Amino acid sequence: CEKNIIKDFQEEGRCFECCIKCLGGIPYASLIATILLYAGVALFCGCGHEALSGTVTILQTYFEMARTAGDTLDVFTMIDIFKYVIYGIAAAFFVYGILLMVEGFFTTGAIKDLYGDFKITTCGRCVSAWWQFIMLTYLFMLAWLGVTAFTSLPVYMYFNLWTICRNSTLVEGANLCLDLRQFGIVTIGEEKKVCTVSENFLRMCESTELNMTFHLFIVALAGAGAAVIAMVHYLMVLSANWAYVKDACRMQKYEDIKSKEEQELHDIHSTRSKERLNAYT
């Protein structure tokens, strides 16, 4: 019975050591960056898509705009293009996040060799040698900065509209108007505006579409900012992995050269010993 208890304790100790070793191989920095990236992309794509749909509803219902027949590039066509761009962003960064996570797992095995925990993996060296990941991540970070700046434009527009609705209730007799021509949504020849004295304006301010669309754009802007932070985090992780693995490769080359020199000295010493022994005999 005592032997069984000791055996159970030994097996539990081995399982615990194995779990600790596996947990030590997880790239926590890359994992955090991946979670942040997926959360930011999900917020931007999901909320941005619904906010664009709400914008279409507001333009058609309260500004009395209609889709132009034919292949004319109007605001509704641009919104459809933005939706397709959102689909592409979601798919592309889902794949890119997986690639960066795999790179983190491989390079973690290579970095741990510096402390004697893991053996340097060939895949870790090869993947870390792809400095193109760093350049590509840097370009994606600049792209997300542009997306963040672009997403702030509809937030600014809806903030102005929300402010006009708020001021119309505070100031009696004020005739405030919002003209879409000043935002470039329609051409100069088209007059699409709503004023506080119109029925459409009152209905729009009391509707849930305006408030919901405004807050959806704010959340989409926050998601784009989170994606920028994730890209910066990835840049730090990739740079650190590259430096550590490069140092590990240099150390291994030094150890290989040192072992070869020691082997050569040992061979020379053995040859001389044999010559002396032969001369003596």
Tens of pLDDT, residue by residue over 13-63, are 566 566 666 655 677 888 889 999 999 999 999 999 999 999 998 888 888
Dihedral sign (CA 108, 113, 117, 120): positive
Q: Which residue has the higher pLDDT, 253 or 128?
A: 253
Residue 78 main-chain phi, psi, to 5 deg = -65, -40
- pTM of the predicted protein model: 0.75
Q: How far, in whole angstroms, is CA 194 from its chain's centroid?
A: 39
Helices (H), 26-121: 28-61, 75-111
Which residue, 4, 101, 103, 90, is CA-closest to 41? Answer: 90
Contact call for residues 227 and 39 (beta carbons, < 8 A): no
Question: Most confidently modeled of 67-76, 120-129, 150-159, 218-227?
Answer: 218-227
- In which band, very low, low, confident or very high, does the pLDDT at 93 lie, cut at 50, 70 and 90? very high
Q: How far apart are CA 49 and CA 84, in angstroms?
A: 9
Lowest mean pLDDT among 58-62, 147-151, 256-260: 256-260
pLDDT over 60 (residue 127): no
11-20, 86-95, 165-174, 202-211: segment of lowest average pLDDT: 11-20
Residue owning tokens 């119109």: 198
Side-chain-side CA neighbours of 140 within 13 Å: the count stands at 24
pLDDT above 50 (res 2):
no
Q: Which residue do the tokens 């784009």 mark?
A: 224
Q: What percent of the chain has pLDDT over 90?
A: 26
Residues 121/109, Cβ–Cβ less than 8 Å: yes
| The predicted structure's pLDDT at residue 123 | 46
Closest CA to 148 of 11, 20, 40: 40
The full length of the chain comes to 281
Which of residues 223 and 274 earns the better pLDDT score? 223
User: Which tokens is 274 given?
Assistant: 């044999």
